[in-house]
Amino acid sequence: MFRLIPDWLLYIIVIAVVVFTLFRVDQRADAPEALPDAARDGGFLPPPSIYDPEVLVEVGPVSSGMGSAFAISEEGWWLTARHVVDGCQHVGLVVSRGAAVPVREVKRALFADIALLRTDQAPAALALDTSEREFQIGQRAFHVGFPQGRPGEAYSRLIGRETLVARGRYEVEEPVLAWAELGRTSGLRGSLAGISGGPAFSANGQVIGVTIAESARRGRIYTAAPTSVLRLLRVEQVEAQGLPAPRLTADNYGQQSDDLRRELAVAQVVCVAPGDGALNP
């Protein structure tokens, strides 16, 4: 059953989204210039290594805001970023203007910036591809969600692995995949904050990662490694059962992303911090 978000709370949250800085590496006023759309390098992604470069992030204090999530089972399981929902008093998924479905359970990974959400059901679910050994340097990814609190997406190519070191509200070190941004939604400038927790798709429509951080200055987007996702599913004994999205290309990913949000396979997450109110019926 849907529960309405009070107008005053929705207004506060939307304003907060504009300055949503829960988990960004850095920021600047404008998006980075698009990198050359180079041909696929063809080499396979190497395994994690102690020599992988590190990227340091600061996890800020809990505050009300919004992020992204996507369904992996029509039984009501969703994936998102841990920092989007960690410490929230109430969590909901926006299903229409002013209405949210309450999240019944939040299961946070202690080893990565990912989390599972549970609702009564999900209208559509997406297929996961955790075959990390088959990933190739230079392959494309399409990041879908709600950057700056609005529908939006970005397009990137895989450049390798890094180790994400989180400090602040919680501490964790995890292997992540680093992507060079090639393009994004027309008119979307500045930070991609708010897309955290959204899916990263391969060209064949399967989800190959969870978007968790960005470095605007370096023109990079970071996703949780598929092995981390697989580990969380095994720990929580959750079976992902979804279907691939339609094939995505540099020409159609905007339209395909709109369809995924319209079908609620990708949804917006509302976090209400302690003391900020509640998702009232």
pLDDT digits (tens, 9 = 90+) for 161-213: 999 999 999 999 999 999 999 999 878 888 999 999 999 999 999 999 999 99
pLDDT per position as a tens digit, 116-146: 999 999 999 999 998 888 899 999 999 999 9
SS3 147: helix
- Residue by residue, DSSP assigns 220-244 as EEEEE-HHHHHHHHHHHT---B-BP
Residue 76's pLDDT is 95
- Would the pLDDT of 25 be above 80? no
CA–CA distance, 184 with 192 (Å, rounded to integer): 10
Residue 238 · residue 229 · CB < 8 Å: no
pLDDT per position as a tens digit, 45-86: 999 999 999 999 999 898 899 999 999 999 999 999 999 999
- Would the pLDDT of 35 be above 70? no
Domains in the chain and their CATH numbers? 3-272 (2.40.10.120)
More confident residue, 264 or 217: 264
Q: Determine what percent of the chain is predicted with pLDDT higher than 90.
A: 73
Residue 84 · residue 197 · CB < 8 Å: yes
Look up residue 265 and give its DSSP letter.
S
CA–CA distance, 143 with 152 (Å, rounded to integer): 9
